[in-house]
Chains A and B, each alone.
Chain A
Amino acid sequence: MVCDDESDVLRAYRIALASKYNVVTASSGEECLRKYEGELKAGSKVDVLLLDYKLGDMLGDEVACKIRDMDGTKIILISAYEIESNFLGDLKQRNCITAFVKKPITMSSLLSTIEKTLQSE
């Protein structure tokens, strides 16, 4: 699943990932939570969530921690903002996120990050 409030960015993520994965997109924090829960109920577990930090309605860390509270999946937080490493460390500590990548990122790097995340314990 990918979540970003920028439609152009979301489209690019979708196209890049579509070659290898089944992709579900969400353009807001609220939509992300709703669709994640929907997938969960439908029995098709989301393997990894690529989550933008600054969503129109919510911030990525809040979404991530709410998903952790549902059942938890691997979440890659991605942001164009400079985010303090202490804050990221804390999020990882609390099992809200698995990895963090900084925009701009090439699709090949993104794919390899997803690959690594999926393979990690």
Chain B
Amino acid sequence: MRLTGAISKKSAAFLVTLAVLAAVFSFASYAFSSAVSASISSQSIINTNSNAQIQASDLSHLLSQTLEGVSNNLQIIASAHAVTSGNVTSAEPLFNSAQTSTQNLTSAYYWTNENGTLLLTSNGTATIFPAGSGLNLSERATFFVPKSTGTTYFSSATPSLTNSSNVYLFISQPVLSEGHFLGVVASAIRLTALGTFLKSQLSPSFRSSVGILDYNGTVLYSGQQSLIGQSVFGSTFQSELPSSLKSTFDSFLHESLAGQAGVYDITVKNITGTLAYQPIIVTDSLGQTHQFGVLYITAVDTLTGSAIALINQQRFVSTAIIVGIGATLFATAFMILRWNKRLGDAVSEKTRELVQTNLQLSTANTQLAAQSRAQTDLINIAAHELRTPTQSILANAELLRGAIVPQSEPMSVTQSGGKSVVEPGRDYISFPNIPQEDVIELVESTFRNAERLERLTQTLLEVARIDNKTLRLDYETFDLNELIRELIPDVQKGANVNSTQHLSPINISLDTDSPNLYITADKTKVGQILSNLLSNSMKSTSRDGGKITVSTRDEGDHVVVSVKDEGRGIDPEMMPKLFNKFITNSGTGLGLFISKSYVEALGGKIKAENNTDGRGATFTFTLPIKKPENSNDQNQDLVDRKAM
């Protein structure tokens, strides 16, 4: 369907505006949802960051305390008399009780003399060193560092002497007596145990993992077991680090190993997370603090992920709803506008019909006015035609009366018993000397004019019948040529007595192929048609000795009859309306109208044309030879209509 076909251009523009508005609102909703999503995401990240920092701080302190707890045990042992006096047997319970107190974390406590020779290992775990005593540990940092510093030493990740896959953190304390170095007491903390301990301290509702780096950047603990003992600066670690995280991680290392706490947002494979870090500070036996390492916590920003998923859902749903509402609005507006246009079209159609009707009424009005004028013309012409014979009859009667009635009789009109009595009065004039032949002519003229009045009455009645379509046809079979031959003298005689113009008879001749031409038609009406056409030609042919030719021709199913004269011809202006009513220079102007009506009623056609030689005109009409089949029906129809 073409949009503009169903609705107007204006409406189409409105619909487009509506669609654009719907699109704008949809986009606005989408954008707003996106902004909310971003805001929630940001809030969520802040929240996650904050939680991670708190956890990191808590764990860092806990770890510091735990390490210092072990360190304190070592300080107590190192200052114990049994140790300073070198009494291994009496010192052993001290070591065992310290191990018991920190057995969750420590694998063992041990003691070496001033030469680094292992003197004693507590119970607990015997896998730190090979079995038996006498092992020299003087080359190990746990020995020579506290020996030289005179204070507590916190080692880095150190593999076990017995099993390098077991990595330990050692804390060692020098045994001093009055300034003399007497050996080292130390504790081994298995890093996995440390990790398990830390993990148990993490909030279970917080999806996070914990890790520890020592002050050298060596991984002391990580959720990823293989990284433990690796240096973060080493190639193994660096190769596993996603390239996108490198700069962040470098910053983290730089800052965290410098003793700073902080937090970073990290995103790996569309997963947003947090890296929070906190320095682990320990205090040595001299009361000095050292950065033991860095505790870091990584947390996946789960809230952000699920919230964003929800918001995305909400964004798509709300956008879809707005699009749906927009589409519904659009469709509704389209339907309304279409109905509107249909309504408009219907109104336009009705208006057009009204205009048409108005026009028809106006035309009808004009026609009525024309009919009214024609009616007036008819009355005027009829008056003229009635008055002419009346004038003759009136004058004839007056003259005849004047010839025969004595002058002494007065003329008056008196009222008697409600009736008018006309008697000769003052207007009476005597015409005593009218010659005998004039008297006879006056009498004959009176008859003629009375007949003329009657003919005129018949003509007017016939016109009324034609106008009312109540013409009756009486079919009979007759010889058309014979009818013409009979008519010619009557027409000639009529013309000669009626008009003063033709002093000698006009020659009227019949030109035909065969003497007899039988047709079935209304003989009276055919005779009337011929009389009218001949009279017309007679009037036109004003010169004496004029010639009129009537010709008939058999054309098989119809006859062609023509009346040709040598008269004035037909004025070209008159030609188009020649057969209309009252188109005349003389007479009623009804003869040709009646003739045409008769010819057509009988199933023929009539026409008039000026002769090609420039002298006179020819009227030609056709008539069917047989009675038309529908003729009776037509008449019946006319009768029926009349009856209604």
Interface residue ranges, A against B (CB under 8 Å): 5-13, 15-16, 19, 27-28, 54, 56-57, 79-82, 103-109, 111
- Report yes or no: B380 in contact with A15, Cβ–Cβ below 8 A: no
Other 19 A-B pairs with CB < 8 A, given A103-B390, A107-B431 = A5-B499, A5-B501, A5-B586, A6-B500, A7-B498, A7-B500, A11-B441, A15-B434, A15-B442, A28-B500, A28-B501, A80-B383, A80-B384, A80-B385, A81-B380, A81-B384, A103-B387, A106-B398, A106-B427
Chain B residues numbered 80-117 whose CB sits less than 8 Å from any CB in chain A? none
Q: With an 8 A cutoff between CB atoms, is B391 at the interface?
A: yes
Closest to A56 in B: B586
Pick from B387, B429, B586: contact of A104, CB under 8 Å? B387
Residues on B lying within 8 angstroms of A by beta carbon are 380, 383-385, 387-392, 394-396, 398-399, 402, 427-429, 431, 433-434, 438, 441-442, 445, 448-449, 497-501, 539, 542, 585-586
B384 touches A54 (CB 8 A): yes
Do A107 and B500 have beta carbons less than 8 Å apart? no
**7 closest A-B pairs (Cβ-Cβ)?**
A27-B500, A12-B395, A80-B387, A7-B500, A8-B392, A8-B445, A108-B427
Give the tally of cross-chain contacts (CB within 8 A). 100
Contacts of A106 in B (CB 8 A): 394-395, 398, 427
Q: List 29 A-B contacts (CB under 8 A).
A: A5-B500, A6-B500, A8-B392, A9-B395, A10-B500, A11-B442, A12-B392, A12-B399, A15-B442, A16-B395, A16-B399, A16-B431, A28-B500, A56-B501, A56-B539, A56-B542, A56-B585, A81-B384, A82-B380, A103-B387, A103-B388, A103-B391, A104-B387, A104-B391, A104-B395, A105-B394, A106-B394, A107-B398, A107-B429
> Is the CB–CB distance between B398 and A9 below 8 Å?
no
Residues of B within 8 A of A8 (CB): 389, 392, 396, 445, 448-449
The answer to whether B391 and A105 touch across the interface, beta carbons within 8 angstroms, is yes
User: Quick one: which of B384, B438, B501 contacts A15, CB cutoff 8 A?
Assistant: B438
Is the Cβ of A11 less than 8 Å from the Cβ of B445?
A: yes
Chain A positions within 8 Å of B433 at CB level: 19
Question: By CB atoms of chain B within 10 A, which of A27, A104, A105 has the most?
Answer: A104
- A6 and B395 CA atoms in complex are apart in Å by 13
Residues of chain A lying within 8 A (CB to CB) of residue B441: 11
Name the residue of chain A whose CB is nearest to the CB of B381. A81
C-alpha spacing A12/B388, complex, angstroms: 12
- Chain B min CB distance to A9 (Å): 5
Q: How far is the CA of A28 from the CA of B585 in the complex (A)?
A: 14
Q: How far apart sit A5 and B434, CA to CA, in the bound complex (Å)?
A: 22
Residues of A within 8 A of B539 (CB): 56
Q: How far is the CB of B588 from chain A (nearest CB, A)?
A: 12
CA A81 to CA B584, docked complex, whole Å = 14
B395 nearest CB neighbor, chain A only = A12
Assembly CA distance A103 to B393 (angstroms): 12
Kindly state the separation between the CA atoms of A80 and B387 in the bound complex, as whole angstroms: 6
- Chain A residues whose C-beta falls within 8 Å of the C-beta of B497 in the assembled complex: 7
Given A5-B500, A6-B392, A16-B431, A81 and B383 touching (CB < 8 A)?
Answer: yes
**Does B427 lie within 8 Å of A109, measured CB to CB?**
yes
B501 A27 Cβ-Cβ under 8 A: yes
In angstroms, Cα B442 to Cα A33, docked, is 27
Q: Which of B383, B384, B442, B542 contacts A12 (CB 8 A)?
A: B442
Shortest CB-to-CB span from B387 to chain A, Å, is 4
A54 touches B586 (CB 8 A): yes
Provide the bound-state CA to CA distance between A82 and B501, in Å.
Answer: 25
Q: Which residues from chain B contact A56 at a C-beta distance below 8 Å?
A: 499, 501, 539, 542, 585-586
- Give min CB distance, B590 to chain A, whole Å: 16
Q: Which residues of B contact A28 (CB under 8 A)?
A: 500-501
Q: How far is the CB of B447 from chain A (nearest CB, A)?
A: 10
The distance from the CB of B567 to the nearest CB of chain A, in whole angstroms, is: 12
* Cα of A6 to Cα of B399 in the assembled complex, Å: 17
Q: A9-B392, A28-B501 are in contact. Are A19 and B431 (CB under 8 A)?
A: yes
In the assembled complex, the Cα of A27 lies from the Cα of B442 at a distance in Å of 18
- On chain A, the residues within 8 Å of B383 by CB distance are 80-82
Q: With A5-B501, A27-B500, A28-B501 given, is the CB distance from A11 to B438 under 8 Å?
A: yes
CA–CA, A107 and B403, complex, Å: 13
Measured between beta carbons, the chain A residues less than 8 angstroms from B402 are: 107
Chain B nearest CB: distance from A118 CB in Å?
17
Contact between chains at A104 and B390 (CB < 8 Å): yes
B445 touches A12 (CB 8 A): yes
Give the residue name and chain of the A residue nearest to B449 (CB). Answer: A8
A67→B428 CA distance, assembly (Å): 33
Q: Measured between alpha carbons, how far is A99 from B399 in the docked complex, in Å?
A: 23
**Complex CA distance for A84 and B431, rounded to whole angstroms:** 34
CA distance A15 to B403 in the complex (A): 11
Residue of A nearest to B497 (CB): A7
Taking CB atoms, residues of chain B closer than 8 Å to A5 are 499-501, 586
Closest Cβ of chain A to B389, distance in Å, is 8
Residue of A nearest to B446 (CB): A8
**Partner among B385, B398, B442, B501 whose Cβ is within 8 Å of the Cβ of A108:** B398
A13→B395 contact, CB < 8 A: yes
Closest to B444 in A: A8
Instruction: Report the separation of the CA atoms of residues A57 and B442 in the bound assembly, to the nearest whole angstrom.
Output: 26
The CA-CA distance from A15 to B390 in the complex, in Å, is 17
Chain A minimum-CB-distance residue to B386? A80
Q: How far is the CB of B67 from chain A (nearest CB, A)?
A: 142
CB–CB A80/B391 < 8 A: yes
B399 cross-chain contacts in A, Cβ below 8 A: 12, 15-16, 107
Q: How far does the alpha carbon of A108 sit from the alpha carbon of B497 in the complex, in Å?
A: 26
Q: Chain A's nearest CB lies how many Å from the CB of B162?
A: 154
B403 nearest CB neighbor, chain A only:
A15
How far, in whole Å, are A57 and B498 apart by their CA atoms in the complex?
Answer: 16
Q: With CB as the reference atom, state the residue of chain B lying closest to A109.
A: B427
| Centre residue among B396, B429, B448 by max chain A CB count within 10 A | B429
Q: How far is the CA of A57 from the CA of B402 in the complex (A)?
A: 33
Assembly CA distance A104 to B388 (angstroms): 7
Closest A residue, CB atoms, query B389: A8
Chain B contacts for A15, CB-based, 8 A: 399, 431, 434, 438, 442
Using Cβ atoms and an 8 Å threshold, which residues of chain A touch B395?
A: 9, 12-13, 16, 104, 106-107
For the complex, what is the distance from the CA of A9 to the CA of B452, rounded to whole Å?
13
Query: What's the Cα separation between A82 and B382 when bound, in Å?
Result: 11
Bound together, the chains give a CA A84 to CA B612 distance in angstroms of 40
Chain B contacts of A104 at CB under 8 A?
A: 387, 390-391, 394-395
How far is B541's CA from A56's CA once the two chains are assembled, in angstroms?
A: 12
Bound complex: CA A79 to CA B388 (Å): 9
